[in-house]
Structure 1
Amino acid sequence: MGRFKKQQWWLVYLLLGLVLLLPAHASFAQDGYEEVKAFHAELTVGSDGILTVVETIDYSFSTQRHGIFRDLPVRYELDNGEQVIVPIEVVSVEDWPYELERSRSMIRVRIGDPNQTVTGVQRYVITYRAIGAIRYFDNHDEIYWNVTGNDWDVPLSRVSAIVHLPSAVNETSLVTDCYTGIVGSTDQNCEINSAGLDVNFSSNDPLTLVVGWGPKGAVAFIAPQHPELWADYIRPNIVGFLVVILLPLLACIFLLNRWWKYGRDPEGAGTLVVQYDPPDHLTPAEVSTVFSEHIGTEEIIVTIVDLAVRGYLKITELPKAFLSQKNFEFTLLKPGFVKDETLKQHEVKILNVMFGSSEKVTLKHLTDRYAFDGNLPLIRQRLYTQAVAGRYFTDSPEKTRLKYRGIGGSLILLAILIGFVMSNGWLSEDWLNGTLVAVGVALVGVLVMIFGAYMPRKTAEGVRVYDHARGFREYLSTAEKYRLKWQESENVFERWLPYAMVFGVVDKWSEAFKNITLSPPGWYEGQSMSAGFNAVIFSRSISNLQSGLSRAVSSTPQRSSSGSGFGGSSGGGFGGGGGGSW
């Protein structure tokens, strides 16, 4: 009994599903279904080279509509990329009012009365002439014609065509072919029947036909028309050309004015004055932040060396294994650094990232565990925050650049949207206008992003520190000239070494000390000092250390990434287009 009830429930579910489906099916059948019940084209090739086309379209409406539209292309691209124009002259539409809507690439014949509607099957007969639709080859001429077009909004059936050739054509020279289906299809679901100089074609799919004939000269030669620069490109797209030229120019003027008001640094000293120490006792990373307005891996590397110079850690060269990269060991000398008030925020963070709860770590270990991956943005933020707190910048340089990158990126996305919308209208008539407008907006976006790099603004204090840093760099670069000055300072070589790394003048700084007897630094231990300390040789060890730390700081885990000539295809040749109702 339970099993019987189970079967009953399945029957109920089935019937309920059918009941639910029937209204939807009925609605589809009743609401808005349209089709072309028959499409016939009569093509007459004149001895003057003009093609006359009479299209008879039986269109079925299931709801009240005004009529139909027929799109007739006038611009084509040949197989070799050559652009040609085949002018269309619409002669008549029998028994119906119509309007012509022209674009650069097509003519739309809108048939019907906007004040009246029709339903059921209606017949539309369109007559038009195509000038230049004959294709001329060395040994024959031909018509390669897309009868129906492939851009109809509704299905087509009972497609037929007849081609009438002039009496001068040699009947035995005829060569015919046809193609059906979507654009590019080589299907040949069509029939061809010839009777004298008349060739009949039939199919139930979109149809493209080919008829070739001889002798040469049976049909007059009409040279193909080609687009002209002014008449076909510039004048129809004058708005786009104006936008692509004027919009970036105006944007550039606006951005220059904005930079002058909000991005230009206050005027500094101008004259370079040599300085013998860093500005405001700033750390190397802080000096680099003010000097370059950017923070990368180099600022972290110089901070690590500077912390070693100041006694917070020791750096030891490890024996180099065969075919391996040079390795270093870092030993934390002040485990209570977190409570050290003399350390800056970025320094505390770097020590935390390096050591965590341990007191020893190797360069290889830092690299293999991607220690700095994910921590770089926070270190950058702390350095920028310190620079703003020190009143060297009006706002974080990174935040300023990101703001302009965001605006520029949004404009580029807007340009893509504009290009898509304006290039995909009912006839794609504004594709060049749309492209030009999109390029103009995109160029503005690029300009905004470029100017954004120059918009971070130093304060007067920041300019003073910048000038001081320039003077200090001059000293480190030409230290030999100031031998007396640095001889008066204790441990000056290693104390200013991290700053020389910031300015990229380690070699010059070391060269000044090559003939000077210096005590080896207590914070560095390695083979390069086994035969005594030499500043130039030591600088090479520091270069190796920089390279290794650069790999460690920037290391990240790998992330997963998600024509005819008696050949052709459907949709080829001249003719084509499509249609629908309105």
Structure 2
Amino acid sequence: MARAPRLRTLAVAATAALAVLVPVAAAAAAAPADDVVSELVAGVRVDADGSLRVTETQRYDFGRTPNADLRRTLRIRVPFDADQDEVFTVTNVRASVDGRSVPVSRDDSDGLAALTVDLDRPLTGRHTLRWDYDVQGAVRRTSDGLEVSWPVVQGLSTPVRSARVNLSAPAVSWAVCFAGGAGSTMPCTAAQLGESSAPVFVQQGLDSGERMTIVAGLPTASAVRPDQRLDQRWSLRTAFSLTPLTIGLLVGLVALAGLSVLALWWTRGRDTGAPKDGQEDGYRPLVAEPDGRTRFAPPEGIRPGQMGTLVDERADVVDIVATVLDLAMRGLLVIEEGGRPSRHRGPQWLIHRTGAATDDLAPYERAVLDLLFDSGSRDVVSLPEIAGAPSERLDAVRDQLYADVHARGWFHHRPDAVRSRWTTAGAALALVGVVLTVVLAITTELGLVGLAVVLAGGVLAWGGDLAPSRTGKGSALLARLRDLRRYLATADGSDLPENHRAELAARFLPYAVVFGLEDRWAETFAASGRPGAPDAGLEWFRAPEDWHRIDVPDSLDAFVAALSNAISPGRRLRI
């Protein structure tokens, strides 16, 4: 006797039915309305290797309308679970009409094998149509043994009045049959399991496109070998699966990239003779002149723009702003604070060129003057005019700064060139990783490996910041600059000669700006003013009539911020 199917069997049958509903309906629409299969008899033999040998004979009534178009479909891929498809291989497809072989054309797409019988002439009336084909993948292993499942009647474009299927398989232990439309779990008219273990399945009446699915159980010890084939269905989750292999490759590739960056830095990016953090106790950047005056003497006469580039290996906007202040302190420029257009807006700023000799200017300082004064076409400039300057002029300043620190022997190579090579290599590797990610995600479950290459490229690009290396000369100077920073950060000006305190504090300002310490030295400079008495201005700074020297901190902060915004967004240096 037939035994009741398990719930999983029902679910498999329903899912398989749903997978072919739309294509089958389309095929059914192609047949004339009066075509019908009056009787269908099929035999299914299960071989030891799990293959099914299917023979199907149809008593086909073409009616009175000539028809030369015979079509059907066989499912070859259906969803099995959330991540996998069950795949069937249909081979050796043959067809005959009234005992005469006819050619069959086939088109596989969307999980279906679409079969078309190529008739040499339209047919009417009753004829015998026979199909023969083999199926691999229809025998699956279950917790109770083996299970054979195949929709023998499927994909027909005509109704079927009566269908009978005989199953030949060793030691069938149970059998069940489903009939109806897609998703139907209605049992067939009959599913009989006789003493010979040769099940017979019968169904009376199937509409066009409906199916008849037979399911039979075999014992685990059966001579039949299960041949179910499951293919992973593509999805983002499966394409980027977290498996021991993908996690290992991800971690390994990123670690390899990190070690590569470390190796490159160790062999090429380290400074020669890396300095200690300050080497001279009691350091003061001051020199006593023979005439009794005290002069500011930065290490090796370095200028603010050069200092900023040497310290952080970048030509920042703050280095350019400090250079402008330094040029003003040296008498080449005058900074003018104008009135406020409204109480809600900051002061208007002008920068004047004094016409002082420029013989001792470094190339990058000349480039700064070109940036400000449009290559010498004007002697006064407002900050909005600087903001409208072509970007090529700012690039020229940075280019000259990098060339300067390299030419002075402070770096083995230009910092920007070394950084660019690393960044370009990292970007190229990341781009390769993106392409590899797409390819691997589409074709395999190793999408994370491609992402690892992208991350490796990012690590290499990030390593560009570590690439510039200072020479022994540059490292020694950096140590002295750290002493200078420590002095600017801790001194309060009390050690400066009182009669030269304002002058020296002003000379410190451009260097303090680079280090972000301008406020304390602006306060020191402001303290040298006369209380309550307005200052007409300074040699390097012009101000409104009611301006006092005690306003220097506010004025300096406002000017540095306004000029930085006019040039380009920048960052302050911290070491």
TM-score tier after normalising by the smaller chain length: 0.5 to 0.7
In the alignment, residue 135 of structure 2 is paired with which amino acid?
T
Contact 2:304–2:319 under 8 Å retained in 1: yes
Query: Aligned runs of 1:261-272 on 2, under 5 Å?
Result: 261-265=267-271, 266-272=273-279
Deviation at 1:330, TM superposition (A): 1.5
Contact 2:299–2:480 under 8 Å retained in 1: yes
2:8 corresponds to which residue?
A: none
Contact 1:255–1:448 under 8 Å retained in 2: yes
2:568 corresponds to which residue?
A: 554
1:3 corresponds to which residue?
A: none
1:530 maps to 2:546: yes
In the alignment, residue 438 of structure 1 is paired with which amino acid?
G
1:85 maps to 2:84: yes
1:319 corresponds to which residue?
A: 339
Deviation at 1:407, TM superposition (A): 0.5
Which of 434, 447, 457 in structure 1 is aligned with 2:469? 457
Query: Share of identical aligned residues, percent?
Result: 21
User: 3-state SS of the aligned residue for 2:494?
Assistant: helix
Q: Which runs of 5+ in 2 are unaligned?
A: 1-25, 29-39, 45-51, 57-73, 96-109, 114-118, 121-130, 141-149, 165-174, 186-202, 218-229, 286-296, 570-575
Q: For the structure 1 residues 513 and 301, does the alpha-carbon distance in structure 2 shift closer, same or farther, using more than 3 Å as the test?
A: closer
User: 3-state SS of the aligned residue for 1:341?
Assistant: coil
User: 3-state SS of the aligned residue for 2:352?
Assistant: strand
Query: Aligned runs of 1:301-450 on 2, under 5 Å?
Result: 301-322=321-342, 323-334=344-355, 340-355=358-373, 356-367=376-387, 370-424=388-442, 428=443, 430=444, 432-433=445-446, 435-450=447-462
1:290 maps to 2:302: no
Q: For the structure 1 residues 245 and 173, does the alpha-carbon distance in structure 2 shift closer, same or farther, using more than 3 Å as the test?
A: closer
Deviation at 1:420, TM superposition (A): 3.2
2:37 corresponds to which residue?
A: none
Q: For the structure 1 residues 212 and 293, does the alpha-carbon distance in structure 2 shift closer, same or farther, using more than 3 Å as the test?
A: farther
Q: Which runs of 5+ in 1 are unaligned?
A: 1-37, 47-51, 57-69, 78-82, 97-105, 110-119, 133-142, 149-157, 177-194, 202-208, 556-582
1:246 corresponds to which residue?
A: 252
Deviation at 1:227, TM superposition (A): 8.3
Which of 476, 481, 491 in structure 2 is aligned with 1:479? 491
Deviation at 1:411, TM superposition (A): 0.6
Tell me how far apart the structure 1 counterparts of residues 359 and 212 of structure 2 sit (CA, whole Å): 93
Tell me how far apart the structure 1 counterparts of residues 541 and 54 of structure 2 sit (CA, whole Å): 94
1:259 corresponds to which residue?
A: 265
1:278 corresponds to which residue?
A: 298
Deviation at 1:199, TM superposition (A): 3.6
In the alignment, residue 386 of structure 1 is paired with which amino acid?
D
Q: For the structure 1 residues 76 and 360, does the alpha-carbon distance in structure 2 shift closer, same or farther, using more than 3 Å as the test?
A: farther
Tell me how far apart the structure 1 counterparts of residues 241 and 328 of structure 2 sit (CA, whole Å): 69
Contact 2:338–2:349 under 8 Å retained in 1: yes
Deviation at 1:497, TM superposition (A): 0.5
Deviation at 1:393, TM superposition (A): 0.3
1:204 corresponds to which residue?
A: none
Deviation at 1:288, TM superposition (A): 0.3
In the alignment, residue 492 of structure 1 is paired with which amino acid?
L
Deviation at 1:516, TM superposition (A): 3.3
Tell me how far apart the structure 1 counterparts of residues 382 and 132 of structure 2 sit (CA, whole Å): 85
Tell me how far apart the structure 1 counterparts of residues 433 and 519 of structure 2 sit (CA, whole Å): 48
In the alignment, residue 460 of structure 2 is paired with which amino acid?
V
Tell me how far apart the structure 1 counterparts of residues 159 and 463 of structure 2 sit (CA, whole Å): 62
Q: Give the number of aligned pairs.
A: 400
Contact 1:174–1:212 under 8 Å retained in 2: no
Tell me how far apart the structure 2 counterparts of residues 372 and 227 of structure 1 sit (CA, whole Å): 56
Q: For the structure 1 residues 515 and 235, does the alpha-carbon distance in structure 2 shift closer, same or farther, using more than 3 Å as the test?
A: closer
User: 3-state SS of the aligned residue for 1:361?
Assistant: strand
Contact 1:252–1:447 under 8 Å retained in 2: yes
Tell me how far apart the structure 1 counterparts of residues 55 and 137 of structure 2 sit (CA, whole Å): 11
Tell me how far apart the structure 2 counterparts of residues 55 and 545 of structure 1 sit (CA, whole Å): 93
User: 3-state SS of the aligned residue for 1:483?
Assistant: coil
After TM superposition, the score normalised by the length of structure 2 is: 0.58
In the alignment, residue 245 of structure 1 is paired with which amino acid?
V
Which of 127, 130, 135 in structure 2 is aligned with 1:127? 135
Which of 558, 561, 573 in structure 2 is aligned with 1:544? 558
Deviation at 1:545, TM superposition (A): 0.8
Q: For the structure 1 residues 316 and 161, does the alpha-carbon distance in structure 2 shift closer, same or farther, using more than 3 Å as the test?
A: farther
Q: For the structure 1 residues 362 and 514, does the alpha-carbon distance in structure 2 shift closer, same or farther, using more than 3 Å as the test?
A: closer
Tell me how far apart the structure 1 counterparts of residues 244 and 423 of structure 2 sit (CA, whole Å): 30
Contact 2:331–2:540 under 8 Å retained in 1: yes
Deviations 1:113-169 (A, max 9, x none): xxxxxxx99x9945355689xxxxxxxxxx99xx99xxxxxxxxx988999899887
1:521 corresponds to which residue?
A: 538
Contact 1:372–1:553 under 8 Å retained in 2: no
Tell me how far apart the structure 2 counterparts of residues 170 and 271 of structure 1 sit (CA, whole Å): 89
Tell me how far apart the structure 1 counterparts of residues 497 and 53 of structure 2 sit (CA, whole Å): 96
Deviation at 1:379, TM superposition (A): 0.9
Deviation at 1:242, TM superposition (A): 4.1
Q: For the structure 1 residues 446 and 308, does the alpha-carbon distance in structure 2 shift closer, same or farther, using more than 3 Å as the test?
A: same
In the alignment, residue 412 of structure 2 is paired with which amino acid?
T
1:200 corresponds to which residue?
A: 208
Tell me how far apart the structure 2 counterparts of residues 329 and 108 of structure 1 sit (CA, whole Å): 78
Deviation at 1:74, TM superposition (A): 6.4
Deviation at 1:508, TM superposition (A): 2.2
Query: Aligned runs of 1:14-93 on 2, under 5 Å?
Result: 72-73=76-77, 83-88=82-87, 90=89, 93=92
Deviation at 1:344, TM superposition (A): 0.9
Tell me how far apart the structure 2 counterparts of residues 500 and 397 of structure 1 sit (CA, whole Å): 23
Tell me how far apart the structure 1 counterparts of residues 132 and 326 of structure 2 sit (CA, whole Å): 87
In the alignment, residue 545 of structure 1 is paired with which amino acid?
F
Contact 1:479–1:509 under 8 Å retained in 2: no
